[in-house]
Every structure is written in C-alpha cells, then in structure tokens.
Amino acid sequence: MAQASGMLGNGSKAVKVHHLIKAPENTPESVRRRESWDATEPATVYKTPEIMPDGTHCTAATVIFRTRGCVWWWKSGCTFCGYFNDVRDDVTAEDLFAQWEEAKRRLDDFEGCSMVKVYTSGTFFEDRENPPEWQDVILRETHERGLHLVVEAQAQMCTPEKIAWVAERHPGCTVAIGLEAYDDTVLRFHVNKGFSTKQWHRSVEMLKDNNLRVKTYLIFKPPFMSEGDALRLTTKWVTEVAPYSDDISVNPMNIQRRTVVDRLYRNREYRPPWLWSLVDMLEITHADTTGANARMIVHPTAGGKLRGAHNCGKCDEDVVAAIERYSVSADLRELEGLDCDCKQVWRVEIDNDLTLPVPLGTGSDRRGLPTDLLRAP
Ligand code: SF4
Ligand SMILES: [Zn+2]
C-alpha cells in the first residue's frame, strides 16, 4: 500500500480515473520527463518517399505535433500506444500554430513535397484535442497549396457534421483510422480500442459519402495472442477490409515505452512478430488487396530490433528491405528468394500455435539459442 500511494504522487486527490489505473505513468518523475519539452516545437518532422492517390511517386512530409493527446487515452487507452510520451494537458492554440510554423521552417516550406501527413497523437479533428481554428488553418492551407493531406482519427470521433466540415476545407484528403483488428473480441480484449467494427463501418461510410479517402491501420500481433493466431487473423482482416479501404497499413507491433505491451515484454510474456509472418501475410493477401485496388503498406518500425518485428538477427536486414520495397511496388517478386535457417523455426512455431491448445503461443519470447536464453537473467 505504501508503495502504491508512492506511485500515485504527492497524496493530493486524483482527478481522473486515468491517474489511478495508469499509476506508473503518472509518477511525478514520469510527468516531469514527459513534459520537459518545448510546446512551441513539433515532436518530429521528416520527409519520406510516398505514393500519391493516383499512383505516382512523390515526397511526403510528416509532421508529428505535440498536442493534448488522445481523448481515449486520457480515459483509458489502447494497450500498445505510447503516444502519451509526446503529449500534455496544457498545449494551447498558440503553441500549435507555432509548431506548424516551425515545421514549415524545418521542412523548407514543403519544398519538393506533394503530400503532408499531420499526426497529432489522437484525432486531428477532435475539438477537445485540437482547437478548431487550428484544424481550419491546416486543412485550408494544405489544400490551397495543392498538398495532399493525411490525418488520423478514431472511428467514433467521425460525425456527419465534422466529416462534412473537413471535406469542405480539404476535399479528397485521406483520413487514417486505427481499426487495428476487424474483430470485436480482439478490439475489446486485446487492443482496448474504444470502438467497434460497426462504428468503423459507419465512419467509412461517412468518409466515402464525402469523397474522402480511407486508410485503415491494422496491428499485427496485439498482446495476448500467439504468432500463429496473429498470422491467421490479420491475413483474414486484410482481405475483409480491403474492399472498404483505399490504403491498408499493417503495423507490426513495436514495443513503446511504458505501455501495457511493454510491461508484458519486460515480463517475458510477449515477443514482437516474426518478419517471416509479414512476408507470408503479404503473399497470401496480394491477390485480394490488388484485386480490391487497395494499396498495402507495411513499414516495420524498429524492424530487426528486439522491440520491433524481427527474425534471427542474421537475415533481418534483407527481409525488412524486401517488405519495404513491396510496400512501394506492390510486386510479389520483391519477396522472392528470401531464406534463412530461422525460417524453419518460425514455421514450426506457426504450426504448433495453430494445432496445440496454447492460446498465448508456443514460441520463445526472445531470439537466440534456448540454452543461452535459459542462462539469461
Ligand atoms: S486511439 Fe490512437 S492515439 Fe488513442 S490510445 Fe489508441 S492508438 Fe493511441
Ligand atoms: Zn534468419
């Protein structure tokens, strides 16, 4: 009890449920660390090669803002989401405008870019998260400058009025929704997503009605799921959401600090997905995604590292590169000829996961020789 009250801070009354259920994240030290940044500067800006809605190659600018964060996270939050590390309660409209100016300065005023991704660690057009006057400027300015805009949203934040409001200011922009799993049980018990597949369908309809583009994020291997189930289910979900999506981005789990998944990982109860599973998924779903005209994107964040999707350590670089190439070309030949001794270990794990009654999987939680792993602290 003494330890618990220590985790809760200085003894003053907790004002949000969140302060109780996410106690370690709310220790004075965690809050101090998280809030040590300057609110007038964006978290990150960078440029990457991308593909425009018409299929042409382009350069995209990504701006990750420091915001008040996701309304859902402040209430509860998804099990893998570490975005709270970039957010805090007191960000003002002035701060957000200053961040936009600073982003443009660092990106040479979008020189050479045809696309801008504006990420806010939550829902871009949610008024409790981001001031409407700021949303208005971002939407109009990017549209007037002929820049294709990508923003992110939670499904239940999409209302007919708000989507129409967005479409009026930036016709044809892309709205990315973190569906994560096309399965209500997984959404509820593995992801803690805060919305259902029914709500997702409703939001997709609203976006289509307003001629906006739909990007669907799926997570590969949420917690409390074996590798075999992750492969079996995600493959099925990709096929099922393809007819409703312009882009599908499958995000292999990467372990972000201080999240539920991080705690499982540190407890040796979770291993991020194998890169071989991603290759298998791309091969199985290729015909369905191309048939539905949905672009398939997989960028393994921290690919090859222990906290990202990885194989044995020897073949990772080649496999990550092939997956990245496939995301640009949608050509299955990118995945041809990949091989390594570890592929057999992965195959056995998948087969066992799908035949033995071990819900959390049969694989090892870390890569390496079993004898070395036994000796590890
Ligand atoms: S809805 Fe998005 S931003 Fe909010 S907690 Fe979930 S993953 Fe994080
Ligand atoms: Zn290997």
Please tell me the predicted confidence (pLDDT) of residue 10: 61
The total of structural domains in the chain comes to: 1
Please tell me the predicted confidence (pLDDT) of residue 370: 64
CB 28 within 8 A of CB 34: no
The domain that holds 59 is classified in CATH as: 3.20.20.70
CB 203 within 8 A of CB 339: no
**Long-range contacts (CB closer than 8 Å, 24 or more residues apart) made by 262-271:** 262/82, 264/223, 265/307, 268/365, 268/366, 269/360, 269/365, 270/223, 270/365, 271/227, 271/363, 271/364, 271/365, 271/366
pLDDT digits (tens, 9 = 90+) for 72-120: 988 889 999 998 887 888 899 999 999 999 999 999 999 999 999 999 9
Nearest in space to 66 (alpha carbons), one of 31, 34, 25: 34
CB 322 within 8 A of CB 279: yes
72 touches ligand 1 (CB under 6 Å) = yes
Please tell me the predicted confidence (pLDDT) of residue 75: 86
Please tell me the predicted confidence (pLDDT) of residue 24: 60
Give the 3-state secondary structure of residue 149. Answer: strand
Atom of ligand 1 nearest to the CA of 70: 4
Token duo for residue 215: 């990007």
Closest-CA residue, ligand 1 atom 7, reads 81
Instruction: Flag whether the pTM goes above 0.85.
Output: yes
* Residues lower than pLDDT 70 in the chain: 1-26, 369-377
139 touches ligand 1 (CB under 6 Å) = no
Range of the domain at 130: 2-375
Query: Within 13 Å and on the Cβ side, how many CA atoms surround 205?
Result: 9
Query: DSSP secondary structure string, 186-241?
Result: HIIIII--SS-HHHHHHHHHHHHHTT-EEEEEEEES-SS--HHHHHHHHHHHHHHH
CB 293 within 8 A of CB 286: no
270 touches ligand 1 (CB under 6 Å) = no
Nearest in space to 339 (alpha carbons), one of 360, 318, 366, 355: 318
Please tell me the predicted confidence (pLDDT) of residue 89: 82
Mutation probe of ligand 1 site: the residue of 18, 22, 72, 196 with most atoms within 8 A of C-beta: 72
Ramachandran category for residue 356: left, alpha or beta (phi over 0 → left; psi -120 to 50 → alpha): beta
